Structure 1
Amino acid sequence: MKRTLPIALASMGAALGMIAAEPPPAPDRPLPDAAREARAQALFDGIRCVVCQHEAIADSPAVIAADMRGLVREQIAAGRSDAEIKRDLVRRYGDFVLFRPPVRAGTWLLWFGPFALMAAVAAAPLLLARRRRVEPMALSPEEEAQLADIVAQANLRRDPDAKPSDH
């Protein structure tokens, strides 16, 4: 009884994992016109997979990437321009879907965020070093007199390598 419960739970987990697994995408159907298919392939390289996020839809094995490739091919077959296709994808998924989003107020963080972060990282040590610099306080006349007495009373050994200007 003690062994059957873990085995039953493991087999149920495996069965649920197979049920929940995403089915493989349908194979791509290239456009019959080679020029249009080449145009589609060029567009695929500039469109980000919304699941993988670091891959273009041309390279992504995700089902949604296959759907996006099919959508792009449909729009090319319908006679839409590249700009219209990109606008439609941005409308559906946002500016992040393009590897080169347009420069505008909403995408400044995407374009200039890495540079601002690098500048902040470079400036932080400089600001911290500047802030830590503490000027020594001047000695009071009493402290100077005490220091002079200590130096005069001390049996100081002269540096044999010292020049006359160091004495």
Structure 2
Amino acid sequence: MSTAAAHLELLGHLERGEITKEEYLAAFSILKSTSIRTRASEVRSERSPSISAPLKFRASVFRNNIFLFLVCALLLFWLAGGLPTIVVMVCLYAFISFSHDMKIHDGIVTIQHGLISKDQIEISLADVRSFRKKQTFSQMCLGLSDVEFYTAGDKPDGIFEGMTDADKLHAYIKQRQRENNVGRRR
């Protein structure tokens, strides 16, 4: 039902005495604010259609733990030697890299750690007050960073380590927060 049709229906209820003037005004203000939010979301979807598509990030575990990975490779090569070491290291890398995942969809950040036992954190983008990007010297050289999400308090509510696109994530979060603020002000 369109906004105009809903308004005419409200007027009909008021004229027949089915609702009071206060009820009419309350219903009209809700109808008006819903209409504005609907129009704002339509404008947002026309302006940037890719916003509704989920963003996915996977940690670069090899680059984030390169020294540990190399020490394990050398140790395995020394113990087992040759081709079995390469196969074991590739399998280990695949196993570890699929255990860290972050997805943003419908305004919710989902961070998952682990394959055998999963730890999952969900944070609403509307609740994110602060976004922190931390980099050690080795992470700066490899183009990685650790990302922390703060909603309230001094401790981070979500941490994602070994991320390659932290600047892209930061820009995305700021864009979503700006769009949500535009929708609220109208």
Structure 1 length-normalised TM: 0.21
Please identify which structure carries the higher helix content: 1
Bigger Cα Rg: 1
Of Structure 1 and Structure 2, the greater strand share is in 2
| Greater relative contact order (Cα < 8 A, sep 6+) | 2
**TM-score normalised per structure 2:** 0.20
